[in-house]
Amino acid sequence: MATPASAGLVACPSCDLLFDVGGMRHGEKAVCTRCGDFLTRVRDDCFLKLQSYAISGLVSLMIACAFPFLSFESSGLESIMTLPQTAQQLYDQGRPDLAFLVAGFIIVIPAAVLGLLTVLSTCIIRQRYYPWMVPVTRLVFHVQNWSMVEVFFIGVLVSLVKIAHMATVVIGISFWAYGAFALCFVASVGNLDRLQYWNELERLAGLKRAG
Ligand SMILES: [Zn+2]
Q: How does pLDDT run across 102-140, given as a tens digit for each residue?
A: 899 889 999 999 999 999 999 999 999 999 999 999 999
- Supply the pTM of this predicted model: 0.83
Distance 186 CA to ligand 1 centre (A): 24
CA 130, 135, 140: angle at the middle one, nearest 5? 110
* Per-residue pLDDT in tens (0 to 9) along the chain, 211 residues: 333 444 578 888 899 898 888 778 888 888 999 999 988 888 888 899 999 999 999 999 999 999 998 888 878 888 888 888 888 989 999 999 999 998 998 899 999 999 999 999 999 999 999 999 999 999 999 988 888 888 888 888 888 888 888 888 888 899 999 999 999 999 998 888 888 888 889 999 999 888 7
Count CA atoms closer than 13 A to 88's CA, side-chain side. 6
Distance 176 CA to ligand 1 centre (A): 39
CA 112, CA 93: separation in Å to the nearest integer?
Answer: 27
Distance 40 CA to ligand 1 centre (A): 12
Give the environment of ion ligand 1: residues with CB less than 5 A: 12, 14-15, 32, 34-35, 37
Element (H, E) at 62: helix 46-66
State which amino acid sits at residue 138. Answer: R
What letters, b where the CB count within 10 A reaches 16 and e where it falls short, cover 33-58? eeeeeebbbbbeebbebbbbbbbbbb
| Domains of the chain with CATH codes | 1-44 (no CATH), 45-209 (1.20.140)
Distance 14 CA to ligand 1 centre (A): 5
What is the sign of the dihedral through the CA atoms of 111, 153, 178 and 171? negative
Q: How does pLDDT run across 52-61, given as a tens digit for each residue?
A: 999 999 999 9
Which of 151, 195, 198 lies closest to 38 in space, CA to CA?
195
